[in-house]
Amino acid sequence: MEKGLAVIPKLETDHYLLRGMTLEDTPTMFVFMSDLNTMKYITSNPVRTVAELASNIEQSLKNFKETKEIPWVIVDKANGETIGMFRFHKLNLWHKKAEMGVVIREDYQKKGVMSELLSTILPFGFHNLGLNRIVGDIFAENQGSEKLLHKFGFQKEGQFRQTDFDGSRFHDTVVFSLLKDEFIKIERS
């Protein structure tokens, strides 16, 4: 797939729906995107105002039109609540690669949400988008995400020292990747 998508596609699993992010999602997303505890492995400086989040969403939607990002919200199908967001960002269809960005509302963390979603997101990325490489870039302390990435066959590429500052200390970042041929071998096994 060389050119971008006209619309953000809906992806569905048994329990969750990934649908295109919109500005109307700002108030519900603000609840978790502004929460310091929810964001602890992503940024120590989460959004502080609804307006700031709206601006970030506008930028994500602009990036989508420029084929640089695909931003979704995660909806719990049982109750219709927005429980998180997922995006392919740093998307480059020429080089056939993307990085994953995820935020899950705190009350849904450690409940298998991402395990279920990655079973749909990874095939979409490799088969529908034609990606060759998908990256997970996490804080070194984020053991839950590291375990998840290993579960899906991601390989640790390296650890970058003191890449992020949280106001009191620096954090290392660990980069994991999964290549299409590795994914296909896992799919077939």
Q: What is the pLDDT of residue 9?
A: 97
- Within a domain: residue 2? no
pLDDT at res. 169: 85
**Residue range 2-19, pLDDT digits in tens:** 577 999 999 999 999 999
Supply the mean pLDDT for the chain. Answer: 95
Backbone φ and ψ of 177, nearest 5°: -145, 155
With respect to residue 29, please indicate whether it lies within any of the assigned structural domains.
Answer: yes
We report the CATH number of the domain holding residue 118 as 3.40.630.30
Find the Cα–Cα–Cα–Cα dihedral 112, 49, 135, 140, rounded to 10°: -80
Residue 125: inside a domain? yes
Whether 67 shows a pLDDT value over 50: the answer reads: yes
- The domain total for the chain is 1
pLDDT at residue 147 tops 70: yes
What does the pLDDT read at residue 43? Answer: 81
What pLDDT score does 90 carry? 97
Structural domain including 20 reads 11-188
Task: Please check whether residue 4 lies inside any domain of the structure.
Answer: no
Helices (H), 2-67: 26-33, 50-65
* pLDDT at residue 2, as a whole number: 54
**Is 60 exceeded by the pLDDT of residue 53?**
yes
Choose between 187 and 45: higher pLDDT.
Answer: 187
Q: Does residue 1 surpass a pLDDT of 80?
A: no
In a domain, 3, yes or no: no
- Asked if the structure places residue 6 within a domain, the reply is no
Strands 155-165 and 133-139: unpaired
Give mean pLDDT, residues 122-148: 96
User: What is residue 177's three-state secondary structure?
Assistant: strand
* 102-126: pLDDT as tens digits: 999 999 999 999 999 999 999 999 9
Give Cα separations from 61 to 12, 87, 167, 168, 175 (angstroms): 21, 11, 29, 33, 26
Q: Is residue 181 part of a domain?
A: yes
Check whether 141 has a pLDDT greater than 70: yes
Residues of the chain with pLDDT > 70, as a percent, come to 98
